[in-house]
Each structure stands twice: as structure tokens, then as C-alpha cells.
Amino acid sequence: MQGPRFSVKPRRRREGKTDYRKRLKLLRSKKVRMVVRKSIKNTQIQFVEYKEDGDNILISAKSDELIKKFNWKFSTSSTPAAYLTGVLAGKRAKDKGIDECILDIGRHPPITGSKIFATIKGVIDAGIKCPYNEEKIPKDDRIIGKHLDSSILSSVDEIKNKIIGGK
């Protein structure tokens, strides 16, 4: 297509990476954004503050830290690992003085009971205020890993207490 009215869309929009309308709504809230990104093996959470010259990352937590720092022996791509990563990120944010945030899931679909909403449950359990829909949060049995293995139950509680207790 050509002509004087044609304009090329921004690269990230053409690639399907950024929804600029959703991003603008999040930025207008003037709150710190809790950015959740999941991959096949890990879940990453960042607390991001908007700056005109570029976003400023305040806190970051990744699910593979559970293995390195807390002796997690299970998969980092599971719902309990996403929940514990949320608790870890929430604790770090609380220590840095962040009291509230707004969820930014980017282009991930908001599926009920997904790992993204398990992370927000972890952040809320760590003491951060974040608006959410109660129906989207996974059931407690899924968060503690009852659907996976019976040995994961005690491990989730133990690591949660280590993170929140600071041991």
C-alpha cells in the first residue's frame, strides 16, 4: 500500500510484541507495574517504574532462583514455582518500599487459573496491594502443588517461610 496517508506502524506493534493501547492505560495509572513474563522453563517478575527516557526496573525475580538460593528440587515451570517466585518478588518489593502495583501481563492471554495469576497471589501474600479478580486466581490445591506430587506440599510451605522469614 502506498500514498500520502499510509504510515508504517511501530516495529514492536508489527511484530505483535506490544499492545500500545494497553500500555498507555497502565502508564496513566502512575503506579509501579508488576510485569510478569513466562517462558517454557521459567517465570520472571519485574517491578517497573515508568520514566520518560525509558522504564526503570526496580525489582526482579526469576523462578530459577528457587533452585539456586532455596534448594527447590522440582520444576521451575510449575504453578507452585510461579507462586513462590511471586512471594520472592513481593518480599523484595516490600523491602524496597513498594506498597502497591498494577499487573502487566503484556500479550499473554488472561486464562483463569494460569501461572500468571499464581504469581499475583504470591505477591499479595507477601503484602503488596494489587487489584485482581478473585475468580482468576488458581485454587489453593494447585498453588501448593497437590495436583503434582505429595512431596511438593511441605517444600512449598518451607520455602515460603524461608522467603518471608528471611532465613
Read off the pLDDT of residues 70-115 as tens digits, 9 standing for 90 and up: 999 999 999 999 999 999 999 999 999 999 999 999 888 899 999 9
pTM of the model: 0.88
pLDDT in tens, 37-61: 999 999 999 999 999 898 899 999 9
Is pLDDT larger for residue 90 or for residue 21?
90
Q: What is the mean pLDDT of residues 115-124?
A: 96
Lowest mean pLDDT among 28-32, 111-115, 133-137: 28-32
Q: Which fold has domain 19-165?
A: Nucleotidyltransferase; domain 5 (3.30.420)
3-state secondary structure the chain: CCCCCCCCCCHHHHCCCCCHHHHHHHHHCCCCEEEEEECCCCEEEEEEECCCCCCEEEEEEECCHHHHHHCCCCCCCCHHHHHHHHHHHHHHHHHCCCCECEEECCCCCCCCCCHHHHHHHHHHHCCCECCCCHHHCCCHHHHCCCCCCCCHHHHHHHHHHHHHHCC
